[in-house]
Amino acid sequence: MSREAAIYGKRRDMTVHGTEPFNAEPPRAALADRMLTPLEAFYCRNHGPVPAADAAAWRLTVDGLVARPSSWTLAGLRDRFAVHSETATLQCAGNRRAGLVEVRDIPGEAPWGPTATATARWTGVRLADVLDDAGADPAATDVAFLGTDVSEQATPPQEFGGSIPLRKARMPEVLLAWAMNGEPLAPVHGAPVRVVVPGYIGARSVKWVQRVTVADGPSENFFQASTYRLLPPDVDPATTGPGDGVPLGLVAVNSDFLAPDDGAEVPAGPTRVSGYAFAGGDRTVVRVDVSDDGGARWIQAELGEPASPWAWRHWSATVDVRPGAQEILARAWDSSAALQPADPASVWNPKGYVNNSWARLRLHGR
């Protein structure tokens, strides 16, 4: 077990992609059939060292295109604004990258499996209320967030940051959160306060937030302008600069298996398989199909109720496992009628983002 997993309160069996910065995801079974993900199984995605949490010293600066620039303490935020909770799924843009690496190597990026995603009940204040209080200029277009963690992975090294459109920042689901599943935020998840932007890639939910800036364009932070962007397949990322490629924002419809484990040996015969599906944006998952014969025939999975419009849906189906090696497939539809694409090669990109190709589970029937 990694020392870091213990320090950050994570399960012993996390797959650790890196210890400094700490990046880890749980085994599939840890997420199966649970709407809320406990702290010990919540994936961690960091680009720098985890800052020491000091709630008493914490200050949030609100500036940029606002009539009244302001500075908040944690107690000040709690006293001034109504407290809200929202159940929301976070999903890293690199979730399921391992499936793209199988197509073609992606040097320098962690080969995340299907569990760089998790769901929590977040509690804090609405960003919209804080922006209203500051008198955000309605003609502004974006709201930028800045963390306190300095990433050496950035060029030049800088605090992690990013931005979202002002119209999203004004939506009631976007929170400045200090609690996760009813507990104060853990240091590794952004204590004392992080942004939670439901429906957007995890990178926009900036942890250890220290500054909120209303602006007339997207953030120029490295993690908005230069990475977390979809590059065409034939481009060498070493040759790209700020503004190249397509910025990632809304999560694309995706799904994967959570049980049984990939590569599991199971008794031949009817076998229950289950997983998650997440739509992203303000779309919802409307259907999940499963196939046990390579996609010739699909059966509709049973869909669990989501805890909120911003949360994943769990699903399950019974498939026929035959003796020997077999691949089970799953694919989800969202409310915009978007369907996951079949082939990971068709979505391969040089940084390995947004692998939302069909989920594939290898089973061995005995």
According to CB under 6 A, which one of 14, 140, 206, 330 is a site residue for ligand MTE?
A: 206
| Residue 156 region by backbone torsions, left for phi larger than 0, else alpha for psi between -120 and 50, else beta | beta
Taking the CA atoms of residue 311, residue 112, residue 248 and residue 63 in that order, the dihedral angle to the nearest 10 degrees is 80
Distance CA 49, CA 159 (A): 11
Q: Using the rule CB under 6 A, is 200 a contact of ligand MTE?
A: no
Q: Using the rule CB under 6 A, is 208 a contact of ligand MTE?
A: yes
CB of 186 to ligand MTE, least distance (A): 8
CB of 325 to ligand MTE, least distance (A): 33
Nearest residue (CB) to ligand MTE, 316 versus 355: 355
Whether the Cβ atoms of residue 149 and residue 50 lie closer than 8 Å to each other: yes
Q: Which two tokens stand for residue 99?
A: 């499936």
Whether the Cβ atoms of residue 74 and residue 52 lie closer than 8 Å to each other: no
According to CB under 6 A, which one of 28, 45, 168, 314 is a site residue for ligand MTE?
A: 45
> Interface with ligand MTE by CB under 6 A: which range of 24-32, 71-79, 204-212, 230-238?
204-212
CB of 287 to ligand MTE, least distance (A): 26
> Interface with ligand MTE by CB under 6 A: which range of 78-86, 100-108, 206-214, 275-283?
206-214
Least Cα distance to 155 among 224, 226, 243 occurs for 226
Q: Using the rule CB under 6 A, is 189 a contact of ligand MTE?
A: yes
Distance CA 346, CA 307 (A): 32
According to CB under 6 A, which one of 87, 115, 163, 205 is a site residue for ligand MTE?
A: 205
According to CB under 6 A, which one of 42, 178, 222, 312 is a site residue for ligand MTE?
A: 42
According to CB under 6 A, which one of 8, 28, 37, 43 is a site residue for ligand MTE?
A: 43
Q: Within 13 A of 250's CA, how many CA atoms are on the CB side?
A: 10
Q: Is the dihedral of CA 274, 97, 149, 175 positive or negative?
A: negative
Nearest residue (CB) to ligand MTE, 47 versus 126: 47
Cβ-based neighbours of 324, under 8 Å, separated by 6 or more: 364, 365
**Cα angle, residue 93 at apex, residues 330 and 43 outer, rounded to 5°:** 85
CB of 109 to ligand MTE, least distance (A): 12
Whether the Cβ atoms of residue 302 and residue 317 lie closer than 8 Å to each other: yes
What are residue 24's DSSP bridge partners? 16, 44
Count residues contacting ligand MTE (CB under 6 A)?
18
Distance CA 257, CA 240 (A): 35
> Interface with ligand MTE by CB under 6 A: which range of 26-34, 37-45, 230-238, 324-332?
37-45
Classified as helix, coil or strand, 188 is helix
CB of 116 to ligand MTE, least distance (A): 7
Nearest residue (CB) to ligand MTE, 136 versus 206: 206
According to CB under 6 A, which one of 24, 44, 164, 169 is a site residue for ligand MTE?
A: 44
CB of 78 to ligand MTE, least distance (A): 21
Q: Using the rule CB under 6 A, is 160 a contact of ligand MTE?
A: yes
Least Cα distance to 50 among 88, 18, 15, 25 occurs for 18
Residues that bind ligand MTE (CB under 6 A): 42-47, 90, 92, 147, 149, 160, 189, 202-203, 205-208
